[in-house]
Amino acid sequence: MTMMNTRRIVFASVLLALVGSWADGAQAQERRAPTKPRKTVVESLTGQAQSDFSDGLLLFGASDWQGALTKYVRAYEASKEPRILYNIASCHERLKQYVKARLFLRQYIEEATKADLLDAKRRAELDVFLETYDRLIGKIVLDVGTVGALVQLDEAEIGTTPLSAPIDIEEGQHRVRITRAGFHDWSGTIEVKGGGQETLVHAQLTPIRHEGRLLIQATPKDAVIKIDDTFSALGSVDRVVASGPHHVAITAKGWKPSQFDAVVTDDQTRRVNISLTAEPSSHAWIWVAGGAALITGVVITSVILSNQRDEAVTQGGQRGTLSVPLLGRF
């Protein structure tokens, strides 16, 4: 093969290689042709949604997180633009509401992924945010023996017992209140640790009992006290009874009976001190018996004196006999 032929072959090979390279480059360029630039959030919105979102940006820049949150939520509800969810999550983060921040960030990732708005790098960044939120969030596990009780956490209603799952909440102190009609309220302050740690809370509701205390002291001490004809005691009563009126009857032998209604109120003590009045017949018997005893004593004394012979001393110092006239013969 001559030198000329060799050069021609080499040149042809290089030319084919260049043509192939250009073809591959053209196809690659066609595949990598820049797509139409994606609209910004503001550009994708219209009407009131656009106005609310723009206002939210201004408020967020002025550190008015709550005001910006309100505007962002209104804009999302009107447009369902997934990217607004990220702004909502950012507001909750600034407000240290990490549970809601995590919730809306997860929703943003889900909806943005479906809309092909996230690349691998951005998704990795958002996963780091989620891990940070997890470290700042703990769980509350409630053990409540009463079914149908309303659970409030920091004055926000969570649900009724039994709860289907632990409560996610930011680490730190929180106020728990549990209520149900017919039961005393339960409330307490608890300390929650982050990192997904569970804090167990035992809360037992006690029924409201409509009752009070009835305390009765009677004279004489052996008086029989009856309450509602179902309970009796001697002299005194100290008893827990249902709220409302209770019929009380007090009797004692030789004393006038007494009856009255004692009204007892919830969680209060009703005190009653009562002295019975003696029957008149008992006093008459005492006077008759006492008079008879007095008369008998006089007669006996007279008899004794009448039968004694007393000796007396005369003025001259001689002993003589003193005659005492008798009042009568016995």
Q: Which residue has the higher pLDDT, 54 or 38?
A: 54
151-165, 168-182, 303-317: range with lowest mean pLDDT: 303-317
Q: Is the same domain home to 130 and 157?
A: no
pLDDT at 202 over 60: yes
170: which strand partners? 137
Question: Which of 105, 120, 135 lies at the terminal end of a domain, its last residue?
Answer: 135
The answer to whether 163 touches 198, Cβ cutoff 8 Å, is no
Question: Which of 103, 135, 167 lies at the terminal end of a domain, its last residue?
Answer: 135
**How many domains does one find in the chain?**
3
pLDDT at 171: 95
For the whole model, what pTM was predicted?
Answer: 0.57
Q: Is the same domain home to 48 and 69?
A: yes
Residue 300 falls inside a structural domain = no
Confidence band of 321 (pLDDT split at 50, 70, 90): very low
Give first-to-last CA distance, the chain, whole Å.
Answer: 194
Question: Which of 87, 114, 135 lies at the terminal end of a domain, its last residue?
Answer: 135
pLDDT at 2 over 70: no
pLDDT at 23 over 60: no
Residue 315 falls inside a structural domain = no
Query: From CA 255, how far away is CA 233, in angstroms rounded?
Result: 17
Confidence band of 130 (pLDDT split at 50, 70, 90): very high
Q: Is the same domain home to 191 and 217?
A: no
Residues of the chain with pLDDT > 90, as a percent, come to 66
Q: Is the same domain home to 190 and 248?
A: no
Q: Is the same domain home to 149 and 169?
A: yes
Q: Is the same domain home to 114 and 142?
A: no
Residue 301 falls inside a structural domain = no
- Average pLDDT for the chain: 80
pLDDT at 80 over 60: yes
Residue 34 falls inside a structural domain = no
User: Could you identify the residue written with the tokens 């100290």?
Assistant: 238
Residue 11 falls inside a structural domain = no
DSSP 323: -
Run of H or E including 247: strand 244-252
pLDDT at 13: 42
Here the tokens at position 116 are 């092909």
Residue among 185, 152, 144, 186 nearest 169 (CA):
152
CATH code of 116's domain: 1.25.40.10
Residue 19 falls inside a structural domain = no
Query: From CA 118, how far away is CA 109, in angstroms rounded?
Result: 8
pLDDT at 281: 67
Residue 253, domain extent: 211-278
Here the tokens at position 137 are 């969030």
Q: Which residue has the higher pLDDT, 4 or 184?
A: 184
CATH code of 168's domain: 2.60.40.1120
Q: Is the same domain home to 63 and 131?
A: yes
pLDDT at 36: 56
The answer to whether 59 touches 72, Cβ cutoff 8 Å, is no
Residue 189 falls inside a structural domain = yes
Here the tokens at position 32 are 């990598």
Residue 285 falls inside a structural domain = no
The answer to whether 191 touches 173, Cβ cutoff 8 Å, is yes
